[in-house]
Structures are given as C-alpha cells and as structure tokens.
C-alpha cells in the first residue's frame, strides 16, 4: 500500500499533480524533442558539455520549443547552480540580488548558470549590467528570447554570448511528444485519426501548446468517447486550419503563396492568400511575409513594393478583419504584378559573407574622421575628396579597406527601376576608370 501512496493516473483514482507540460518535462538533454541540432549526439550543446567548456548563450526561438527546459538540463549536466529570472518581472534590485548570490557561490567554488527568460525585455542599461559578471565568470548567462537578438540585444552582450537557434517543432516531433504524454498518462488520447492530425496542426510548432490542448481533451472526454475533428474544435475553442490534411499546410501554403508571387501569377497568389485567410491564419503573419517578399523578390526593381506592403500591414493593424484583409490582398496583387529582382537580396548575402570572412578591417584612413590632433597626425581624413565639390558630384575614391580591395556585390538586372540604377552604376564605373587613368 505504501508503494501506491503517491501514485497518480486513471488506476490510482488520484488526479496527476501539476500541468501536463511540466510533468512531461525532459530529465536529460537527449530526451528533448525537436532540437536534435543542439541536443543530439553531435549537437552544439552536447559538444560543449563533452568538451567541459560552457560559455554564455542566447537561446532564440518561438515559444514552446524547450528553451527553459534545456537551460535547466544544462545546469544539471555541468553541476552548476541554477538561477532563473524573468525580464518581465525583474528589475535592477533583483539583478543585484542574483549577482551577489552568484558571487558568494563562486567564493565557495561553484559557478552559477543564470537563466534569463524574455531577456530582450530588459532595456539597454539593464543588459549592460550583465557584462561585468559574465566577463569575470561570476555567472554563465543563458538568455532566452523569441525576438531577433541582432535587433533586441546589445552588441556588447551578443559579443560575449553564442546565439543558438531553437526551431518550431515539426509534425513528427509533435507526434512523438504526444506519444510520450499518452505513455505517461497510461491512456490514448480520445481522438480519431483526422482529429489527431488537426490537433498537431493547432499546436503550430509549440510543444507546450500541444500538451495543454491534449490535457483539455482528456478532461472533456467521457468513458469510451472519441472525438472527431469538429468536436475537437468545439472542445478547445480553436479553429483547425483547413489546410490539406496530408501536408504540413501552414508551411506548404505560405510557400505556395511566396512562389506564386515570385512567379508573377496574381491569380494563384490570391488563391493561396484566401486559403490561408479561410484557415484562420493570423493576417499579420501573412502581412509580415508579404513584406519579406517585397524585399527578397522585388527589391529595387520596384522600390514602392516595400512601401505598399508595409502600408497594407499597417492598414490591417488599424482596420482589423474583414476590411483590413482587402489591403493585404491588394498588396499581394501588387507584388505579383511587380517586376522581379533578387539583386539586392543576393548582394546583401555576399556582403555579409565578406564581412564575416574579413573580420574587423579598418576602413581606409581618408574616409575616417579626425576629431583629435593625434588622429590627424596619423593620417585620419587625409586625402578625402568631398564628392559634392567634384565634377558630377562623384570623386571615384575607393571606400573599401585596403586589405580587401574594391568589391562588387550589387549587380542590378535590366528590369524595372533597376534598369535606371544600372545606368547610374555604369556611368560611375566609367568615371572611376577615367579618373584612375585606366582609360
């Protein structure tokens, strides 16, 4: 009888303690689902633990992908003290208290892994307060964010931490998570095959959301009752996407919309747009993707494309549904019928690769400001030609670091507005050659 004292589940007659996502939380890194690139045998985190050197990290990814869980497991695997705070509820006083506790532990020979949830919500000054304790080893910081760290975190903080990307859980990973829940509960989820597939789509890559929905289903089910897709939607009060049941519809349809726009087919683009509206997709998500299409596939072939899509997104945000959806449809048609160019997108990728490859090269001294006498004496600003004072307002000087030499990333096609840009670039190239004595 003593063995059954804390038993839970259907046979014990006692209700399980705590929410299902918390009870199913992995106990080891290799139990984490859907992040094998980090926690698998050759994953980034697995390698760090194996090497015995764990540095500060930033976990970037959508909700429900295991960021908090992995941080806890890391502390356990490395025998570090685990401290957790949330940027939503913490201020300077809380940070000071945590730092002081970490210093005391360090004096006793033990380091602290400080997990900061929603770290992007700290302001710049608060983010800067982490720098001294990261540098002297008082804490190993693990920050979690759903926002792009490049935009939301200080450069100084990012330079001291490695960013690891957590992916939204794919259908296969969600299915494995659901099977684990059924094994722990000792019972199958009372859903038919179609309803089960709908439940996975409702989770939208969020493992926590999936388990919460599953818990609602178990609570609602009577003895021997099995729910179909329609009944499931009534129980959880969430509409199922009416995507192709045999596919991962959310990603398939946005891909179809994007490629229809890129292929200049406004009718197909409108069809997939409306499919997503009808499925209950968040219109602002669609708006953001349209903005991406404007910069990735139209670019400077039609500079108005970005303005039109941003205006449509703002119009939806202002008007709501259904009026705002017309603005998004109008932007979709505009993009599909605009001239296409990925020249700016390609140039950006090439320039980014060059920036990473060449490191922190100093720009040529003639384009550096010289606010002090010493800087002037060392050549800063010497020889700079003010373009507005030159013929055609063009000096033709080289602005790349001397160690790199002149590079070419942007190669506009003979389409749309970029035809005019190419004329300008060709003219400036001609002037540059003439003034350098090449012609």
What are the domain boundaries of the chain? 35-165, 171-236, 249-337, 358-436
Tens of pLDDT along 194-223? Answer: 889 889 888 878 899 899 999 999 999 888
pLDDT given for residue 15 in this prediction: 55
pLDDT given for residue 171 in this prediction: 86
Question: Under the phi-then-psi rule, with left for phi > 0, alpha for psi from -120 to 50, and beta for the rest, what region is 237?
Answer: left
Fold assignment, 249-337: Zinc Finger, Delta Prime; domain 3 (1.20.272)
CA separation, residue 286 to residues 85, 282, 296 (Å) = 33, 7, 15
pLDDT interval class at 2 (50, 70, 90): very low
* CA atoms within 13 Å, Cβ hemisphere of 198: 23
pLDDT given for residue 52 in this prediction: 81
Fold assignment, 171-236: Helicase, Ruva Protein; domain 3 (1.10.8)
Written as six digits, the tokens of 426 are 């060709």
The more confidently predicted of residues 246 and 87 is 87
Q: CA-CA distance, 271 to 256, in Å (whole number)?
A: 10
pLDDT given for residue 276 in this prediction: 87
pLDDT given for residue 74 in this prediction: 92
pLDDT average, residue stretch 372-383: 84
Nearest to 273 by CA among 293, 288, 291, 253: 253
pLDDT average, residue stretch 181-203: 90
pLDDT interval class at 438 (50, 70, 90): low
Fold assignment, 35-165: Rossmann fold (3.40.50)
Written as six digits, the tokens of 333 are 């048609």
Q: Given this structure, which CATH class describes domain 358-436?
A: mainly alpha
∠ Cα 114 48 41 (to 5°)? 120
């Amino acid at each position: 009888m003593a063995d059954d004292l804390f038993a839970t589940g259907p046979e014990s007659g006692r209700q399980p303690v705590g929410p299902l996502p918390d009870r199913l939380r992995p106990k080891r890194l290799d139990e984490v689902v859907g992040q094998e690139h980090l926690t698998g045998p050759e994953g980034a985190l697995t390698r760090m633990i194996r090497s015995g050197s764990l540095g500060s990290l930033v976990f970037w990814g959508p909700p429900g992908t295991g960021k908090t869980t992995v941080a806890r497991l890391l502390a356990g695997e490395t025998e570090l003290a685990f401290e957790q705070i949330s940027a939503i509820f913490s201020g300077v006083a809380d940070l000071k208290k945590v730092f002081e506790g970490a210093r005391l532990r360090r004096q006793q020979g033990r380091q602290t892994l400080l997990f900061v949830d929603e770290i992007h919500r700290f302001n710049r000054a608060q983010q800067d307060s982490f720098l001294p304790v990261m540098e002297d080893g008082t804490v190993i910081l693990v920050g979690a964010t759903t926002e792009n760290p490049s935009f939301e975190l200080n450069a100084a903080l990012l330079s001291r931490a490695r960013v690891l990307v957590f992916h939204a859980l794919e259908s296969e990973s969600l299915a494995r998570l659901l099977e684990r829940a059924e094994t722990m509960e000792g019972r199958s989820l009372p859903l038919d095959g179609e309803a089960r597939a709908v439940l996975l789509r409702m989770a939208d890559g969020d493992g926590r959301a999936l388990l919460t929905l599953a818990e609602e289903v178990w609570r609602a089910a009577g003895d021997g009752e099995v729910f179909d897709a329609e009944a499931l939607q009534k129980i959880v009060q969430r509409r199922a996407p009416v995507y192709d049941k045999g596919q991962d519809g959310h990603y398939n349809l946005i891909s179809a919309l994007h490629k229809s726009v890129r292929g200049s087919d406004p009718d197909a683009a409108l069809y997939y747009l409306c499919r997503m509206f009808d499925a209950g997709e968040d219109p602002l998500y669609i708006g953001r993707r349209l903005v991406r299409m404007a910069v990735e596939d139209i670019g400077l072939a039609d500079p108005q494309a970005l303005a039109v899509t941003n205006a449509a997104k703002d119009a939806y945000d202002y008007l709501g549904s259904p009026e705002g959806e017309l603005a998004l449809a109008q932007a979709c048609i505009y993009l599909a019928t605009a001239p296409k160019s990925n020249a700016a997108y390609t140039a950006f990728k090439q320039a980014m690769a060059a920036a990473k490859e060449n490191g922190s090269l100093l720009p040529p001294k003639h384009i550096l400001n010289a606010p002090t006498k010493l800087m002037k004496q060392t050549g800063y600003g010497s020889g700079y030609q003010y373009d507005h004072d030159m013929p055609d307002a063009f000096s033709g000087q080289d602005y790349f670091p001397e160690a790199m030499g002149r590079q070419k990333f942007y190669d506009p096609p003979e389409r749309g507005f970029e035809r005019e840009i190419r004329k300008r670039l060709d003219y400036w190239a001609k002037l540059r050659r003439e003034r350098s004595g090449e012609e």
